[in-house]
Amino acid sequence: MANKYRWFFLMVLFSVLLDQFSKYLVVDFLSEMKSVSIFRYFSLTLVKNTGICFGILNNLNVRIFIITASFIIGIAIIISIIRYGKDKQMIIASGLVEGGIIGNLIDRIRIGAVIDFINFHFWPVFNLADAFIVTGVVIIFFHHFKGGKYAPRVFEDR
């Protein structure tokens, strides 16, 4: 039982530290330049996102909504760990999601906005926490619907 929590907390710690360190570097490096082109369709662009996902509801005071939603999602993740505790993929995916939520929540509490910097020009600017959340959700989705241990069961007529 302790092993499942260890994997979960290691993934949370890894996600939060990598996210916060990357944001620290970007803010320090791009504070004056704002954007650096890496190649044709990719650049590092410093954006302080005061909205929700991908800048939706930008410049509105959504702090309470974000904090509340983060706690609700966090509780759901913890419940899933308890339920799916023996499935390492689900634990790691849940840790990625939770770590991403915490990484963005730290920004919200600390500066009132989320630091975004990964800019593929065809997609809204995002950060590593967002990537961890999406990666974790995709793993959970495929695990559920592609035959994982806890996938929904289809009953056949006999």
Please give the full DSSP string across 77-92, using - where no structure is assigned: HHHHHHHTTT-HHHHH
Catalytic residue among 28, 107, 116, 157: 116
User: Residue 90's closest CA among 136, 153, 129?
Assistant: 136
Please give the full DSSP string across 47-72, using - where no structure is assigned: EEE-SSGGGTTTTS--HHHHHHHHHH
The answer to whether the pTM exceeds 0.85 is no
Could you give the CA distance from residue 33 to residue 46 in angstroms, rounded to a whole number?
A: 9
Residue 43 host element (H or E) = strand 42-49
Q: What is the pLDDT tens value at each position of the chain, 158 positions in all?
A: 567 678 888 999 999 999 999 999 999 888 766 888 889 999 999 998 877 665 555 555 556 666 677 777 777 777 766 666 677 888 888 899 989 989 998 998 898 889 999 999 898 899 999 999 999 989 988 887 776 555 555 555 55
Catalytic residue among 19, 87, 107, 130: 130
Q: Two tokens at 110?
A: 């600390």
Residue 119 host element (H or E) = strand 114-120
107 is catalytic: no
Domain residue ranges of the chain, discontinuous segments joined by +: 2-145
28 is catalytic: no
